[in-house]
Structure 1
Amino acid sequence: MSLFLILAAATASAPPPAAAPSQTIVVTGTRLSDSEKALRECLSRHCPPEEDIKASLADAENLFVAGRYRDARDVTKASIGRNNRFRGEYPVAVSDLYRGNGRIAEHLGEVADFQLSTALMRGILGNAFGKDDARVLKADVEVGDMFAKQGQFVQARTTYDAAEKRARAAGFASIADVARVRSAWTYAMDGEIALARKALERIAAQSAPEARIGRLSSLVLLARLDRNEGKTGKASEALFTELRSVRAKRPVLLFSPRLDLPGILPEGDEAKWEADPSFALPEMRLKTGNAYFEKHWVDVGFWVTSEGKVSEPEILRGEGTREWTKTLLRSISGRIYTPSVDPDGSYRIERYTLTSRFMESVSGSHMRQRSPNVRLEFLDLTNDPAPGPSPSPAGGGQAPSPAR
């Protein structure tokens, strides 16, 4: 998930397994039939653009959670067709529409649409509010995320560094720290572990109160690097000390075992992806047809105990073959999270999509073909508590990554 989706996570509609008496799970959400009806009624009465967009995104989200990715994308693209002309009047709503469309496109392997939607989302906000507005600076970070997901690490760092500089000058220290940490982490994504560690250690050494987000985020990532090298390290000790003072409700991922999918061979330097202990898989090779990737997804539910261990991981639902999910469950079982202040722990639901990006041109053919590089996209479907002070370097729908 891959690393970098920032949009708020969708609400999962699949019920988790029965819990212990002291563990009560409440799953909320709107039925797909209700969101479809709400959108139809909105369009029939020619509702205002903001209502149209809200209803469209709600329906697309439900369709996505139900595994109907193409239908979800049809909804967002139709709404874009109706509402793009209102980008000047409703820049936030229209930019949200492009952001949602980009997320769906990414899970379908529609990389060109993902890139275009991300760029347009940022452009709409920039034209409306100016380059130093907090919303625009956050969008710049999302653009950096997009470059990082494409493996364009130099361009990602350039984008992050520019956003950090402007955010710092505009007085948005937290956004600046987000960009700085993510810039440092691109070195690890690119296999430059020593450079990543050095950059993160500089951030972690800052003790000013206003630098706390960057400090905690860098400590999380340093702890991950330590775990990957089989050591606990000072970073983990410092992290646990600070987390206890913050009393974070959401568990922060520190380590995830390597995930090997059967029959799929890693491409390139494995260090580039082994550096990331969340779920950013390498691009992997698999020779198969386009249809294989249209309906391959699972929702995995599991408990994170108060000690940070994973308990009872299982597939709640999904489509397609399941041969690739056995190693996925083993990897999830071996994760290590930060300890929780809740003695009952927390229940997590995560979406995994097996996909491959479309190649826009293939020699000797006018038909689009899937790339032989297979990807596993990730989205957190957990309905987390209301946001508060969070040390997590992730704040939304993707696997933990630098300071979302």
Structure 2
Amino acid sequence: MILLVVALLQSAAVAPPPAAAGEDQTIVVVGQRLSGTERALAACIARGCPPKKEIAASLAHAENQFLVGDYAASRATLLKARSRNEKYAKDIPVDVANLIRASGRLASLNGLSDSSRTNAIDSLDVLKGGLAHSDPRVLTERLLVGDTFAKERRYTAAEEVYGTVAKQANAAGLKQVEGLALLRTAVLYTALASVDSAYEYQARKAIRRIRDTTDPELAPFREATVTLERRVKSGDKAHDVEKAELAKTPSQQRTNEAVLVYASPIDLPDRSESGSKVVAVTGDPVPQWVDVTFMVRPDGTVQDIDVVRQSDNVRGPWLDAVKASLAKRLYRPLAMAADKPGLRRIERYSLIYDVSYAPGSRVQARSSKPRVEMTDLTVETPANLTDRHRRVSSCGDHACGRSTRPQAPRSYCL
């Protein structure tokens, strides 16, 4: 089973913050202990602290619960926080929207795709109620709604959302947001075309739409289409072709960041989740998860893949599929000497069985077909050790839009 689309869309969204160059990136565990964030949240609620602070305390505790692997408790913390603070949406729309978005992220990680989608829409509605409809944060949030459709394999619906955002951003003069929306469509169909040639026409059409633009602000997006076109053209030889092209990267185009350019799908064998006949019919109610570290070498290839932590219920060969995909990743070559170790990354992979209705029934059950979600846990800079690249509190993906001006894409994964 091939699972890739949403991670690809998110990596095409906004560039990661810069990482220190030329030195090994030590993995640092930061923040308070779980008991500490639990006490801090309880004390905040007890003294009636302002909604902004209470939301922040709730998000911090929920993130800690997620990091230790208690996905259900993490979501419960966010749901309770939402019930207490949603009434302040008009006063602090961005904070409340962040809370709802995080709740949607945890819903997805708990296998509740319908709830994840409705939370994305609710978060958008909160922003629309407190900000101008042409505000880039509103439009970027709408892109996340499109991502939920893509995750559910409702590709036409996702394309329609991205297209609407592109038109609205164009009308508002928000070229960066317009480019993000156009690129999302191109990445979506290029990813699909890589495993099903029936999508090749849509991929080429979406790529051509970006390539034919002339606005100088969209130049980085036109640059991204070079890789997309190469991926469609090279088919199953994409890895070797891209590796050869990246080897030609001139020194002035190398980077101090881990900029992902190519990632192969995570191929899950049928019924890979376990050998149990029971699980083959009904999937696990609790996600399996692993934290994986690896090094991005100066030439952009990956080495030293290692599992540093995992849930007690991990079993089956799905972890091998994750490692196989990581081993084939290609990043833009780094601006450092070839004998340097490179940049260290750490990512959380979760194997999830979605809740769905049994055929011809209103009874809900876990699907027997799993999917994988990735959360980046890399600490990016020593100066900002308390902020992870993919915090649950900021919705867990590049597409959040942490500023009012989304950045141009420097990361476009295929």
Letter in 1 for 2:353: S
Matches of 2:182 and 2:103, distance apart in 1: 27
1:308 aligns with 2:284: no
**Residue 28 of structure 2 aligns with which residue?**
27
Asked whether the equivalents of residues 161 and 180 of structure 1 are also in contact (C-alpha less than 8 Å), the reply is yes
- CA 244–199 in structure 1, closer or farther in 2 if over 3 Å, else same: farther
Contact 1:167 1:173 in 2 (8 A): yes
Once residues 242 and 80 of structure 2 are traced to their aligned partners in structure 1, the CA distance between those partners, rounded to angstroms, is 52
Alpha carbons 1:350, 1:378 under 8 Å: kept: yes
Cα distance change of structure 1 residues 226 and 311 upon mapping to structure 2, 3 Å threshold: farther
Q: State whether structure 2 residue 367 is matched by structure 1 residue 371.
A: yes
Higher alpha-carbon deviation: 355-364 or 92-101 = 355-364
TM value normalised by structure 1: 0.79
State the shift of 1:215 in Å: 2.1
Describe the shift of the 1:24–1:126 C-alpha distance in structure 2 as closer, same or farther (beyond 3 A).
Answer: closer
Per-residue deviation, 1:337: 1.7
Query: Per-residue CA shift, 1:25-54, capped at 9, x if unaligned?
Result: 151521322222221111111111111101
Partners of 2:411 and 2:320 in 1: CA distance: 24
How many residue pairs get matched?
A: 363
Show the counterpart of 2:90. Answer: 88
Matches of 1:159 and 1:304 in 2, distance apart?
34
Instruction: Find the residue that maps to 2:237 and give its secondary structure.
Output: coil
2:319 maps to what in 1?
325
Corresponding position of 1:380: 376
Residue type at the aligned position of 2:80 = A
Distance in 2 between residues matched to 1:171 and 1:245, nearest whole Å: 31
| Superposition RMSD in Å | 3.4
Q: CA deviation at 1:178?
A: 0.3
Q: Secondary structure at the match of 2:266?
A: coil
Aligned to 2:355: 358
1:197 and 2:191 correspond: no
1:169 and 1:370 map into 2 onto residues whose CA distance is 43
Match of 2:123 in 1: 121
Q: For the structure 1 residues 39 and 204, does the alpha-carbon distance in structure 2 shift closer, same or farther, using more than 3 Å as the test?
A: same
- The more displaced of 143-152 and 51-60 is 143-152
Question: Which of 290, 302, 305 is residue 298 of structure 1 equivalent to?
Answer: 290
Q: Does the Cα contact within 8 Å between 2:59 and 2:99 map onto a contact in 1?
A: yes
**What percent of counterpart residues are identical?**
30
Specify the code of the residue in structure 1 equivalent to 2:268.
L
Q: 1:341-399, CA deviations, whole angstroms, 9 ceiling, x for partnerless residues?
A: 24442111111111111114664564x20122221111111122489xxxxxx8469xx
How far apart in 2 are the matches of 1:376 and 1:347?
A: 22
Q: Relative to 1, partners in 2 of residues 1:28 and 1:36: Cα closer, same or farther, differing over 3 Å?
A: same
Q: CA deviation at 1:129?
A: 1.2
Residue 131 of structure 1, CA deviation: 1.7
Match of 1:334 among 322, 328, 336: 328
Partner Cα separation in structure 1 for residue 185 and residue 251 of structure 2: 27
How many angstroms does 1:260 deviate by? 3.1
| More moved, 229-238 vs 88-97 | 229-238
- Aligned residue number for residue 74 of structure 1: 76
| Secondary structure class of the residue paired with 2:261 | strand
Paired residue for 1:18?
none
Bigger relative contact order, structure 1 or 2 (CA pairs below 8 A, ≥6 apart): 2
Q: Which residue of 1 aligns with 2:344?
A: 347
- The match for 1:136 is 138
Q: Distance in 1 between matches of 2:352 and 2:142?
A: 26
Q: Unpaired runs of 5+ in structure 2?
A: 16-21, 273-278, 388-396, 401-409
Structure 1 match to 2:19: none
Report if the CA contact (8 A) 1:105-1:114 is conserved.
yes
Contact 2:271 2:369 in 1 (8 A): no
Is the 2:282–2:367 Cα contact (8 Å) retained in structure 1? no
1:289 paired residue among 279, 282, 292:
282
CA distance in 1, matches of 2:86, 2:359: 31
AA at the equivalent of 1:184: A
Alpha-carbon distance in structure 1 between the residues aligned to 2:169 and 2:248 = 29
Query: Is 2:47 aligned against 1:45?
Result: yes
After TM superposition, the structure 1 = structure 2 runs for residues 171-320 of structure 1, keeping only pairs within 5 Å, are 171-190=173-192, 191=196, 192-204=199-211, 208-225=215-232, 228-230=235-237, 237=245, 245=252, 247-264=254-271, 287-290=280-283, 292-319=284-311, 320=313
Kept in 2, the 8 Å contact 1:308–1:336? The answer is: yes
SS in 1 for 2:95: helix
Give CA-to-partner distance per residue, 1:317-362, whole Å, 9 cap, x none: 1111232212321221222222112444211111111111111466
Q: For 2:147, which of 135, 145, 149 is the aligned residue?
A: 145
Give the residue type in structure 1 aligned to 2:210. I
Q: What TM-score do the two structures reach when normalised by structure 2?
A: 0.78
CA contact (8 A) 1:96 1:121 kept: yes
User: Contact 2:262 / 2:330 at 8 angstroms: preserved in 1?
Assistant: yes
Give yes or no for contact 1:203–1:218 (8 Å, CA) kept in 2: yes
Equivalent residues of 1:222, 1:235 under 8 A apart? no
Distance 1:238 1:305, change over 3 A: closer
Q: 1:294 to 1:234 in 2, by over 3 A?
A: closer
**Any idea what SS the aligned residue of 1:302 has?**
strand
Decide whether aligned partners of structure 1 residues 22 and 44 sit closer, same or farther in structure 2, where only a CA change above 3 A counts: same
CA distance in 1, matches of 2:331, 2:217: 25
Which residue matches 2:407? Answer: none
Q: Give how far 1:127 is off.
A: 1.5
